[in-house]
Amino acid sequence: MSLKKRSNNGLKSICCYCGVGCGVVINKEKNGSITLEGDKDYPVNKGMLCSKGMNLHYTVNDKTDRLLYPQMRYSKNMPMQRVSWDTALERTAAVFKTFIYKYGPDSVAFYASGQCLTEEYYVVNKLIKGFIGSNNIDTNSRLCMSSAVAAYKIALGEDTVPLCYDDIELADCFYVTGANPAWCHPILWRRVEAHKAANPHVKLIVVDPRVTDTCGIADLHLQLNPGTDITLNHAIGRVLIENGDIDVDFITNHADGFEQYSKVVFERSVAQSAGICGVSEQDIRLAAKYIGEAKGFITMWTMGLNQSAIGVNKNLSLINLNLITGHIGKPGSGPLSLTGQPNAMGGREVGGLANLLPAHRNLANATHRAEVQKFWGGTEIAAKPGLTATEMFEALNDGRLKAIWIMCTNPLTSLPNVRLAEEALKKAKFVVVQEISNKPETLAYADVILPAAAWAEKEGTMTNSERRISYLNKVLDPPGEAIADSEIICRFAQKMGYKGFDFKSPSEIYAEHARLTAKTNIDISGLSYDIIKQQGSVQWPYKKRNAVIGTPRLFTDKKFYTYNGNALISAVPDTLTSEAPNDDFPFILTTGRIRDQWHTMSKTGKVNKLNQHIKQSFMEINPSDAAALHVQEGDVTIITSRRGEVRVKAKISPEIKQGVVFMPMHWGKILNNDMHRVNNVTNDMVDPISKEPDFKYCAVSVQKYKKP
Ligand code: SF4
């Protein structure tokens, strides 16, 4: 098959960091290394790349940290030794079979990543659900997007982003909440900035307890108290209703729930809501005015709403603003959740979460289970949902789970209340780690280490935040004996004795996945690698027979995927269940990202240029709080919660509210010292529906560190 080429023998791919999904062109140099540039033809980024994307090639060129061959130990007190692929996979299969025989299929689990390619997700999901007979597969996307997924399903009847990036240039009001896209989704944000600069009437409302770079071009910054998002959204909804700035035709003919919703939002006066949120009533009314005057209105959000014990309700309260104003299914309008990871959406397309089946089928639906089982031809698919991310580590701790296979993720930095996760891996009977790097802390607990190919060393597809499916070329051979993740899983499945994993290439896996989506809402049954390469990228659905060739915008006919075709306006309760501050733990800790690092730094941390931006972890605190604690800029402080403590330098800034402190999420253990790891402190409480953890709100104390 001919690969689409550009000048300098460039091969096309997609940046593997955030869910914006920028196109890149990779050039292979004579010395075997690669360079890259933004793909000028790619509709998402039109040649632009942010600092992380621009430096992505260094992470592949630097092979000093790469795992090169399989390793294994026969018992916990024996050293790891180099083994062949056959030995590693046969031993793993033998251990898995033993546990499944003795304790049942739910005694094993796979914990994967939103950075896996769609094909990799597909085969591991097929393996555990369709052949092992357990639904114990979850991914780090659970820590990222699951609240938005649940809210989309409730409000629209389907986990789907209804608009596309090109709607940005058609909008005249943006409401950006719980997100700092100027740092975390930079190229998408460049498009908002350029659009606003060219169209001065365009309004930007930013909602965040911190002043971030995203506020730089805002017309209005609502610096709310953490956890008060629902109060604020309800208050804005109330003012929109009072002002008559709602779409009565849409509400009457295409939505349910308005009556209940209006009762809930009128329970408090706007002044009362303003007091709770810590913003002025005038600003709430101004936000509603901007939204009410807009012809195109886009809401954008990410972790600030998702990573919460009330994340689903926060999401629903926001989507309500689009629904009551009828700003959905039309140009320049809609709720646009900004995906954190590059392929969280692809992972959900194949059903790669503990409560999903392929093509967004519902695990709880017996017909759906039977359909998938018939297609795969394996064992009966269990009705019981699998363990979610945090539940897996709880189950290792209490012994329900015996074996865990960790793919392309670093839970010992990224999970909340991470010392519990560390205890869990110590107690696990058997741990498999499938990784590219020898750095992640997880490797210390592994019984088997499987070296995987990195980005640009394997082919496959990913889906970005606007449902855009793109192809990633293989440009380099992986080092040593590393192989593609999909091949590792398929070889293992065959060692387990399962049929249906003899794919000759990722394109065959993709073809099977595409066939399984037929007649579902995300139907891509007409799609193949050839078509994706030919068109450059395609937005789902992409159906075979009815000439739908990619769908940038959904619900243009106002028919939603709910049982009656109407969207649901949810009268969500405004009750905060997060850990409340008290005299012992008087501050609220919130976590987030910095501009030049990605997740747990296993890739970006290798790039000197990126490390120059912010060199070490820190705790941001308001000047009056710092003064009360006698803390000065650069002083080492101890931040303590009910779960643990960290010690980092103070960064004193008026840009954070009083009573709130902020720490970045990226740093893990450094030379066995875990004192920079914010997740020592965070809370593993989760949203009851989405099971997404409450990373953005926990009660802590802050003290100046005094040397003993
Ligand atoms: Fe990569 Fe995201 Fe930056 Fe685009 S915006 S270059 S996808 S990190």
How far is ligand 1, taken at its centre, from the CA of residue 100, in Å? 41
User: What DSSP state is assigned to residue 4?
Assistant: P
Among protein residues, the one whose CA lies closest to atom 2 of ligand 1: 18
Residue 21 Cα: closest atom of ligand 1? 7
Q: Tell me the average pLDDT of the chain.
A: 95
Which one of 49, 57, 300 would you pick to mutate in the ligand 1 pocket, going by the greatest count of ligand atoms within 8 A of its CB?
49
The domains located in the chain, with CATH, are 5-61 (2.20.25.90), 83-132+342-539 (3.40.50.740), 146-337 (3.40.228.10), 587-704 (2.40.40.20)
Q: What is the pLDDT of residue 544?
A: 63
Q: What is the mean pLDDT of residues 678-704?
A: 97
Supply φ then ψ for residue 26, to 5 degrees. -100, 130
Confidence of residue 6 (pLDDT cuts 50, 70, 90): very low
Residue 49 Cα: closest atom of ligand 1? 6
User: What DSSP state is assigned to residue 9?
Assistant: G
How far is ligand 1, taken at its centre, from the CA of residue 14, in Å? 9
Tell me: cis bond preceding 693? Omega within 30 of 0 counts. Answer: no
Q: What is the pLDDT of residue 8?
A: 47
How far is ligand 1, taken at its centre, from the CA of residue 344, in Å? 14
Strand-pair category, 334-337 with 297-301 = parallel
Residue identified by tokens 């002025």 is: 280
| 172/543: higher pLDDT | 172
Compute how many other C-beta atoms are within 10 angstroms of the C-beta atom of residue 595.
16
How far is ligand 1, taken at its centre, from the CA of residue 16, in Å? 8
The 3-class secondary structure across 355-420, one letter per residue, is: CEEHHHEECCCHHHHHHHHHHHCCCCCCCCCCCCHHHHHHHHHCCCCCEEEEECCCHHHHCCCHHH
Ligand 1 first shell, C-beta below 6 A: 15, 17-18, 20-22, 45, 49-50, 52-53, 185-187
Confidence of residue 12 (pLDDT cuts 50, 70, 90): very high
Percent of the chain with pLDDT over 70: 98
Q: Which two tokens stand for residue 265?
A: 């939002």
Which one of 12, 20, 39, 300 would you pick to mutate in the ligand 1 pocket, going by the greatest count of ligand atoms within 8 A of its CB?
20
Q: Is the pLDDT of residue 548 over 80?
A: no
Residue 50 Cα: closest atom of ligand 1? 3
How far is ligand 1, taken at its centre, from the CA of residue 46, in Å? 12
Q: Helix, strand, or coil here: 220? A: strand
Residue 45 Cα: closest atom of ligand 1? 4
Residue 180 to residue 20: CA distance in whole angstroms: 13
Residue 602 to residue 618: CA distance in whole angstroms: 19
135-145 pLDDT, tens digit per residue, is 999 999 999 99
Residue 54 Cα: closest atom of ligand 1? 6
Which one of 12, 14, 17 would you pick to mutate in the ligand 1 pocket, going by the greatest count of ligand atoms within 8 A of its CB?
17
* This prediction's pTM: 0.96
How far is ligand 1, taken at its centre, from the CA of residue 95, in Å? 40
Q: Helix, strand, or coil here: 26? A: strand
Residue 24 Cα: closest atom of ligand 1? 6
Residue 69 to residue 618: CA distance in whole angstroms: 37
Complex ipTM over 0.90 = yes
Among protein residues, the one whose CA lies closest to atom 6 of ligand 1: 53
Q: Helix, strand, or coil here: 437? A: strand
For the CA atoms of 271, 277, 279, 281, the dihedral, rounded to the nearest 10 degrees, stands at: -20
How far is ligand 1, taken at its centre, from the CA of residue 10, in Å? 19
Residue 598 Cα: closest atom of ligand 1? 8
How far is ligand 1, taken at its centre, from the CA of residue 19, in Å? 8
282-311 pLDDT, tens digit per residue, is 999 999 999 999 999 999 999 999 999 999
Give me the sign of the Cα torsion angle 674, 679, 682, 685. Answer: negative
Q: What is the mean pLDDT of residues 655-660?
A: 96
User: E strands of 549-691, at which residues?
Assistant: 567-568, 587-592, 618-621, 636-640, 645-652, 660-664
Q: Helix, strand, or coil here: 173? A: strand
How far is ligand 1, taken at its centre, from the CA of residue 438, in Å? 25
Q: What is the CA radius of gyration of the chain?
A: 24
Confidence of residue 339 (pLDDT cuts 50, 70, 90): confident
Instruction: Please check whether residue 111 is in contact with residue 404, taking contact to mean a CB–CB distance below 8 angstroms.
Output: yes
| 707/51: higher pLDDT | 51
Q: Helix, strand, or coil here: 150? A: helix
Q: Which two tokens stand for residue 103?
A: 């304790």
Compute how many other C-beta atoms are within 10 angstroms of the C-beta atom of residue 476.
19
Confidence of residue 363 (pLDDT cuts 50, 70, 90): very high
Instruction: Please check whether residue 122 is in contact with residue 321, taking contact to mean a CB–CB distance below 8 angstroms.
Output: no
Q: By C-alpha distance, which of 347, 352, 354 is closest to 382?
A: 354
Residue 18 Cα: closest atom of ligand 1? 2
How far is ligand 1, taken at its centre, from the CA of residue 15, in Å? 6
Residue 667 to residue 678: CA distance in whole angstroms: 7
Q: Which two tokens stand for residue 567?
A: 């969207």
Helices (H) and strands (E) in the chain, counts: 24, 29
Q: Which two tokens stand for residue 363?
A: 């695990």
Q: What is the pLDDT of residue 63?
A: 95
Residue 44 Cα: closest atom of ligand 1? 4
Among protein residues, the one whose CA lies closest to atom 4 of ligand 1: 22
User: Residue 534 class from Cβ within 10 Å (0-12 exposed, 13-18 middle, 19+ buried)?
Assistant: exposed
Residues, the chain, total?
A: 708
- Largest Cα–Cα separation, the chain: 73
How far is ligand 1, taken at its centre, from the CA of residue 448, in Å? 33
User: Residue 331 class from Cβ within 10 Å (0-12 exposed, 13-18 middle, 19+ buried)?
Assistant: middle
How far is ligand 1, taken at its centre, from the CA of residue 648, in Å? 28
How far is ligand 1, taken at its centre, from the CA of residue 121, in Å? 21
Q: By C-alpha distance, which of 622, 625, 626, 648 is closest to 637?
A: 648
The single-letter code of the amino acid at 227 is G
What does the DSSP assignment read for 57-82? HHHHH--TTB--S-EE-SSTTSPPEE
Confidence of residue 545 (pLDDT cuts 50, 70, 90): low
How far is ligand 1, taken at its centre, from the CA of residue 462, in Å? 14
End-to-end Cα spacing for the chain: 67
For the CA atoms of 378, 384, 389, 392, the dihedral, rounded to the nearest 10 degrees, stands at: -90
Residue 342 Cα: closest atom of ligand 1? 7
CA distances (Å), origin 78, targets 260, 372, 447, 448: 63, 42, 10, 12
Which one of 187, 537, 595 would you pick to mutate in the ligand 1 pocket, going by the greatest count of ligand atoms within 8 A of its CB?
187
Residue 20 Cα: closest atom of ligand 1? 7
Q: Which helix (H) or strand (E) holds 93?
A: helix 85-103
Q: What is the pLDDT of residue 706?
A: 84
Among protein residues, the one whose CA lies closest to atom 3 of ligand 1: 50
How far is ligand 1, taken at its centre, from the CA of residue 38, in Å? 10
